[in-house]
A and B are shown apart, each in its own frame.
Chain A
Amino acid sequence: KNEVEQSPQNLTAQEGEFITINCSYSVGISALHWLQQHPGGGIVSLFMLSSGKKKHGRLIATINIQEKHSSLHITASHPRDSAVYICAVQYNTDKLIFGTGTRLQVFP
């Protein structure tokens, strides 16, 4: 069993829909990362958070430390949001433990 579980594995949506991707982990962490992997393969960091909520444009990330759960929300989704979204947790070291990703496809 992966230490980091993401759901759903695959997600399709119509343009404009509100999207939620979930991430659960099993032990206490120092931080949680949300990453976006484009269809061409490149990975970019979207958020890094250890508590509460962060917002960047149409993207919102939340984390509940007590429940060991984080969500990534996309408001007013657009086809250019189509990508794989990866959750990764970080303990009190440099090491990241990755989830297997959620593949999102947004259709016009």
Chain B
Amino acid sequence: EAQVTQNPRYLITVTGKKLTVTCSQNMNHEYMSWYRQDPGLGLRQIYYSMNVEVTDKGDVPEGYKVSRKEKRNFPLILESPSPNQTSLYFCASSLFPNPPPYEQYFGPGTRLTVT
């Protein structure tokens, strides 16, 4: 089954304790992206990757890191989480042919609480 998986689904942590949210897709997609969703603000892009070893900042990259060592995996790293990073996080992937549009496949979401 074609899918995007994220782990963990729920996480409560404390300020400053490094964490990683994993994302994996089994569709051989080139493009992967991380979003955060906050009430009243909609989904906002954190980082994206167009292929292995190619990553770039989205609209709200501060406080986050990513890596793309393999095509299927795109982990989101919070080196020193803070309470303002409490949010619902989504990983997404899509094929990257030219021209657009590309259907986006979303993971199930990770609800992160930083106290």
Chain A interface (Cβ within 8 Å of chain B)?
2, 4, 30-31, 33, 35, 41-45, 48, 50, 86, 88, 90-96, 98-101
Contact = CB atoms under 8 A, between A and B. Distances in A.
A94 B42 contact: no
A94 B94 contact: yes
Contacts of B90: 43
A94 B31 contact: yes
Interface of B: 31, 33, 40-45, 48, 50, 58, 88, 90, 94, 96, 99-106, 108-109, 111
A2 B41 CA distance: 9
13 contacts: A2-B42, A30-B101, A33-B101, A42-B109, A43-B109, A48-B101, A90-B101, A91-B100, A94-B100, A95-B45, A95-B58, A96-B43, A98-B44
A90 B50 CA distance: 16
B42 A99 contact: yes
A52 to B, nearest CB: 14
Given A48-B103, A94-B102, 10 more contacts: A4-B42, A30-B99, A30-B101, A33-B103, A33-B104, A44-B106, A45-B105, A91-B100, A94-B50, A98-B42
A30 B111 CA distance: 31
Contact of A101 (B31, B42, B108): B42
